[in-house]
Amino acid sequence: MAPAMRQGTLALAVFCFASIELAGCSKIRARDLVREGNELYSDGQYEAAIQKYNEAQEHEPGGNTVLWNRACAAESLVLPLKEAENPQKLEARRKYADIALADFQAWYNGLEVKTEEDTKTAMEHRLAVLSADARCDDLVAHWQEKLKADPKAEGLYSVIARTYDDVCGKPDKAHEWYRKRTEDFPQSAQAWHTLAVREFDPLFPDPEAGIPYNADISPEERIKIADRVIGYLDNATKQDPKYRDPYVWRSMSYMQRQLARVYNDPPETAVERMQSLLAREDSMLAWKQQRAVCDIDSLPNCPVPAEVSAVVGKPQAFAGQSISVYAKVNVDSVTKGGVPTEPVVEMTLEGGLKVRQRYPSKMAGEEHPPEALAEFVEAAISRWGEGKSDTFQGKMSADGKVLEASAAPSMGCCPPPPLTPEQQAADQELKKEIQEEIESGGKRKKRRRRRRRRR
């Protein structure tokens, strides 16, 4: 009995050893297949790589690495097909998206220890695949779940809106979320600004049309859109007066409103004269927004163009002002001075205006050595000697006799207003007169109609 038992034990041991050896061989084979799959993946042969990973999984069903590798290979097939329209390509995209999504989730579930980085990585890959395969409902559900967990995450409103726009192709739903953001966060300047920019979109002109407005929309509708956008931007500025972007877009909106004013030039009727004045008013309102941007950016006023004869004739009228003159130089009057690090050239322009022009070491944001500055000076004098005119920009001295100019190009400046205060006041008075004329004209027409009826 005992020997028989010993033989049975030995047979069991041999069987167990064979099973262990077989399992070990399967793992080795699985790893070889994974390596082969990785080589194919590196060569961009993603479908062939997936086949190798499938075989590897058959040899080692519990391998987590093969899940990650296969998911990445499937994702690499999905992403290039994001814009696909061909039914066969769409079917292939859906197939590999299913593989990628399942494997990324299985890989994540199979991790013994899940770090924050693992969670973030799994989510990023999942969202990329969902977006590429246009799985609108899944994406929206994901972000709405995030918003439910954190209702104060204002930025998620725009994420959901962009998902409806870019992935779902549902602009109306996107607009609902942009508007909902302003309702739930009425004190958010960014929310109002984002809604305004979206509402402005129809006003953009067709680049190929060669005109600065969208001619497919009637002037009346363009004015309505511009007014609505301006209202949203007013709300944004009310919440944050230093928020720069609303001023930029409000200026654009006033310009679009100006372009929508319809009248003959010169205006023929009272209504046309009113539209002409409103267009001038819009141009002034647009400038005020630009002026606000200049203040936020700390930009100086642009030099006012001036004729040499005007400056010389009335020097006190330009005293202390920033001006820009374009004229020829009396070369015999040129004298050089200053230090090598900031040379100065004094000259007289034809017409009698004296100019003191400096060549600062830092021009256009770059530092220049003395040798380079000296070359700039010589090149300018040579140009003037050839009789070429030049532009000189700077500030007039207190007595209005010398223009203190700089050779450094302007890094930006604020344009002058399109209307003077006197012109604005005159326009307001004229508007009142025209409005009275329009209203009285309307009453006269009514009286005439009544008389006709009586007859």
Q: Domain limits of the chain?
A: 19-134, 304-406
pLDDT at 440: 87
The reported pTM is 0.78
Cβ atoms < 10 Å from Cβ of 35: 12
Give the whole-angstrom CA distance, residue 220 versus residue 158: 30
Are 216 and 224 spatial neighbours (Cβ–Cβ below 8 Å)? no
- Predicted local distance difference test score (pLDDT) of residue 24: 57
Under CATH, what is the fold of the domain 304-406?
OB fold (Dihydrolipoamide Acetyltransferase, E2P) (2.40.50)
Q: What are phi and psi of 261, to 5 degrees?
A: -75, 125
- From the list 310, 356, 302, 304, the residue with the least C-alpha distance to 329 is 356
Sign (positive/negative) of CA torsion 119, 123, 124, 125?
A: positive
Mean pLDDT, contiguous 10-residue spans, the chain (455 residues) = 45 39 69 93 96 91 89 97 95 97 96 95 97 97 97 97 96 97 98 98 93 96 98 98 98 98 94 97 98 94 93 94 95 95 96 96 84 94 96 95 90 90 96 93 49 39
Contact 41, 71 (CB under 8 A): no
Q: How many residues does the chain have?
A: 455
What is the C-alpha separation between 304 and 284, in angstroms, rounded? 17
Residue 174: both structure tokens together? 């996107």
Residue 319 in contact with residue 396, Cβ under 8 Å? yes
CA distance 140 to 10: 62
- The strand ranges marked E within 262-417 are 304-305, 322-327, 329-339, 342-349, 354-358, 362-363, 366-367, 390-396, 402-406
User: Sign of torsion, CA 45 84 69 29?
Assistant: negative
Question: Is-same-fold flag (19-134; 304-406)?
Answer: no
pLDDT value, residue 409: 78
- Fold adopted by 19-134: 1.25.40
